[in-house]
């Protein structure tokens, strides 16, 4: 049919399993949308959609199967006021929310949201945030110095996770080197540090391509690394990175803490206690609950009571 030939000319791909979005789509949405609907009705099945590798796309299969945005849905992370339940307001909110990922990611957000907005089924705000979280996790992070002057300190991406960063029952760790940042948390018996080490070991060849002075790794973590499992694994990274610094929030104290700290220091790893509140935005600090604020105070006391061994 005519529209199939037209899309083929624009994109080079048109099949039930993959459709590369043509540039014409952005120039004339209605024509392409009508053409697409006609093709789907004749084919009798729903295609997956692959975004092209232009300014918006990633070339990945996104499985955006005929959905649109439900502006009435609720999310604790992003809220829309009565006058904001429209595409442009949502894009603006999400671009601000993911601003740390840079201008290119902002452009991708617009492309993804415009595509989602013309589909026929429903995406809730939660669906969209989960989708963008997955994309963000794969995105190199532009690194900028913090207000405190320690460029390597990075709190978890989620504001709720930042507010819970003084809860010792759950370990979160954020690792930064070069233009890459990874966030992991303990789950299913695997420690956050172990997951960070596994990911970094797979990137050894990439690190080796950096200049020696740039082979720096920083790990921001709420719980100080344990002696038996995490300390030895972190030490293995000294064969990959020339400088490693651990910024920690909660020292667990006692002989094991002192032994772990000595081992890490002996391996040439820098250990620096921090107060996460110094790196939070006013918005994050303002919304701390009474319990969360109490936890940060307790963590501060533990840092005072359990200084690093000489």
Q: What share of the chain is helix, strand, coil (3-state, %, to 5)?
A: 45, 15, 40
Asked, for residue 153, whether it belongs to a domain, the answer is no
- List strands edge to edge, sheet with 216-223: 180-185, 172-177, 216-223, 243-250, 270-273
Asked, for residue 218, whether it belongs to a domain, the answer is yes
Asked, for residue 101, whether it belongs to a domain, the answer is yes
Same domain, residue pair 103 and 218: no
Three-class DSSP category at 188:
coil
Same domain, residue pair 211 and 273: yes
Same domain, residue pair 131 and 218: no
> How many distinct structural domains can be found in the chain?
2
Q: CATH code at 194? A: 3.40.140
Same domain, residue pair 74 and 174: no
Residue 26's domain spans which residues? 2-137
- Could you read off the pLDDT tens digit of each residue along the chain, which spans 310 residues? 334 444 343 333 333 333 333 333 344 444 544 555 554 444 444 444 433 333 334 444 444 444 578 888 877 777 788 888 888 888 888 888 887 677 778 888 888 888 887 766 688 888 888 888 888 776 655 544 333 334 478 899 889 999 999 999 989 999 988 778 888 999 889 999 999 999 888 888 888 887 777 788 999 999 999 999 999 999 999 999 989 999 999 999 999 999 999 999 999 999 999 999 998 888 899 999 999 999 999 999 999 999 999 8
The residues, any chain, with a CB within 8 Å of residue 36's CB and separated by 6 or more, are 3, 7, 19
Largest CA-CA distance found in the chain, in angstroms, rounded: 78
Same domain, residue pair 20 and 80: yes
Same domain, residue pair 106 and 168: no
Q: Is the dihedral of CA 85, 87, 92, 95 positive or negative?
A: positive
Closest CA to 251 of 293, 288, 298, 292: 298
Same domain, residue pair 171 and 266: yes
The residues, any chain, with a CB within 8 Å of residue 45's CB and separated by 6 or more, are 16
Asked, for residue 148, whether it belongs to a domain, the answer is no
**CA dist 242 → 204, 227, 232 (Å):** 12, 22, 17
Asked, for residue 145, whether it belongs to a domain, the answer is no
**CA dist 219 → 156, 172, 273 (Å):** 11, 10, 12
Asked, for residue 143, whether it belongs to a domain, the answer is no
Contact present, 292 and 163 (Cβ < 8 Å): yes
Same domain, residue pair 164 and 127: no
Asked, for residue 150, whether it belongs to a domain, the answer is no
Q: How far is Cα 170 from Cα 59, in angstroms, rounded to an integer?
A: 35
């Amino acid at each position: 049919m005519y529209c199939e030939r037209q899309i083929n000319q624009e994109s080079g791909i048109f099949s039930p399993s993959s459709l590369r979005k043509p540039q014409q789509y952005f120039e004339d949405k209605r024509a392409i949308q009508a053409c697409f609907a006609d093709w789907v009705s004749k084919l009798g099945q729903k295609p997956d959609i692959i975004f092209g590798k232009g300014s918006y796309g990633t070339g990945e299969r996104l499985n955006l199967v005929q959905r649109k945005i439900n502006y009435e849905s609720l999310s604790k992370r992003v809220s829309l006021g009565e006058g904001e339940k429209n595409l442009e307001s949502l894009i603006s909110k999400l671009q601000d929310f993911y601003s740390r990922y840079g201008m290119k990611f902002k452009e991708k957000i617009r492309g993804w949201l415009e595509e989602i907005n013309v589909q026929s089924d429903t995406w809730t705000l939660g669906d969209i945030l989960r989708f963008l979280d997955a994309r963000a996790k794969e995105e190199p992070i532009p690194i900028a110095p913090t207000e405190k002057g320690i460029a390597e300190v990075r709190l978890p991406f989620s504001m709720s996770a930042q507010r819970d960063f003084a809860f010792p029952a759950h370990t979160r760790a954020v690792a930064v080197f070069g233009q890459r940042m990874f966030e992991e948390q303990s789950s299913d018996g695997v420690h956050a540090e172990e997951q960070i080490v596994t990911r970094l070991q797979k990137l050894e060849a990439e690190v080796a391509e950096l200049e020696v002075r740039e082979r720096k790794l920083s790990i921001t973590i709420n719980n100080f690394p344990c002696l038996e499992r995490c300390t030895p694994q972190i030490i293995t990274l000294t064969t990959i990175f020339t400088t490693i610094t651990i910024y920690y929030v909660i020292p667990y104290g006692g002989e094991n803490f002192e032994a772990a700290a000595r081992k890490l220091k002996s391996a040439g790893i820098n250990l620096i206690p921090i107060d996460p509140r110094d790196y939070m935005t006013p918005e994050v600090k303002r919304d701390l609950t009474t319990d969360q604020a109490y936890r940060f105070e307790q963590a501060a006391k533990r840092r005072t009571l359990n200084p690093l061994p000489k």
